[in-house]
Structure 1
Amino acid sequence: MDISDKVIVVTGSSRGIGKSLVEAFAHENAKVVINYCHSEKAANELHHQIRQYNENCIVVKADVTKREDVVRLYQETYERFGRVDALINNAGVCEDHAIRDMEEDSWKRVMDVNLTGAYLCSRVFAEAMIRQKEGTIVNIASIKGLEGCANQVNYSASKAGLIGFTKALAKELGQFNIAVNAICPGFIVTDLNCRNEEKKRIAEKRCLLQNEHARTDFIHFCIFLLSNRIQGVSGRIFTLDSRIG
């Protein structure tokens, strides 16, 4: 599964699974773009770390909910590498509340980052991919977008919307040889959920297999989607999970 020299932009990649992705892509000799909004120190530390073994790495501060920032993210990517092969819409937040306690700001913030951010990034980067007549967009959705989750109506709705967005965008961009797919990973411990032992316990109980490989499975599958080993698949929602019930 060769992704060497591919230019890959990962939004929200200073921490969590986004960080794991850019580290793995860089080890595969891809040209990677680290994106962050608030975590400047973490982003710069990751950049320094990757540069020890791959010089084709840049870091760009950009708020994915602001079009002008997304345009700048694209411009800095293009100025450095001259093209973009793949966009990973990974940036995401969660603010969990029962709906009776959920303020409108909490609803809007989660929808803006998780769904509107993917729309803005896809809109801007698709222009370059259309000119190239090739490209790949991978949206990081969630099991919760398929099943829903109590006390997470905002997060669940945003990820369900991202799934519908994926299917529609794939139909729109297929004529330009651009693949659009989504991944719904199983339970992966991240900055968003590391303090929620109850959700971790429930997820583990519902898994048919031990999920200590969830992160590596997710990373390997992303590399597979970006490689030339799979070129005729688009509009698909991949569930990387063994949960039942």
Structure 2
Amino acid sequence: MSVSILDAGDAALTIEFGDTIDPGLLAAVNALDAAIARRKAEGGLAGLIETMPTFRSLTLFFDPLVTGREQLLADLKPLLAAAEHSPPLAGRRWRLPVCYEGDAAPDLAEVARTLGMSEAEVVALHGGTDYLVYMLGFLPGFPFMGDVPAALRLPRRAEPRVRVPPGSVAIATGLTAIYPWESPGGWHLLGRCPVPLFDARRDSPSLLAAGDRVRFVPVGTDECRAIDAGVRSGEIDPLVWLEAHEGRATDAQEGA
């Protein structure tokens, strides 16, 4: 593992663990992030404001009136050494419902034609894979997940959409994702998940976190609409629904 330290202005620095999307690099990033959080909770790392983890790097924002680059790196040295040899990341397992039918899947037919598959084969392959949540970004709660099976890999759409509906399940290159909010987007839309991924009223607003594992469970249009209506009306608590439908299991070790 090759670690690089990059300056990001006069009040931030980025620690890069590599230049690929890889579970091993993710483990190092999140191990360091967790170790920093523990050290801060103990009263250490004065001047460190916040951290921002990604696929392969961790950016640290600090107050230059309290600490500096060299002091911060000296404080982080033992944590960084341990992170480089961290075990695979443990996370939660989720089974999320996805409707791969009708208006919920506007690109499914085109994707199937492009890949030389039937729509059923695309759904079976996409829904039959366990995905690792690499990071959250782009939008609050937006999970970048991988790895998409090689047979399903496509570049982004030539013409991005101005509006992608919330809950859209999409693929691009080797990744899959769920759009938590309506937004522009250039990924291929294969389905829709009616379970909200972000709720600011929860203690942990984002449903998913880096290191979690996700498998998509196909549901029909009627069931998808019923879940969506229940969530919107408040009759369905998404977390309670997932528990009742075996949608979540905690503390699942990666690769299990």
Same fold (TM over 0.5): no
| Structure with a larger share of its residues in strand | 2
Q: TM-score, normalised by structure 2?
A: 0.21
Question: Comparing both chains, which one has the higher relative contact order based on Cα–Cα distances under 8 Å and sequence gaps of 6 or more?
Answer: 2
Higher Cα Rg, which structure: 2
Q: TM-score, normalised by structure 1?
A: 0.22
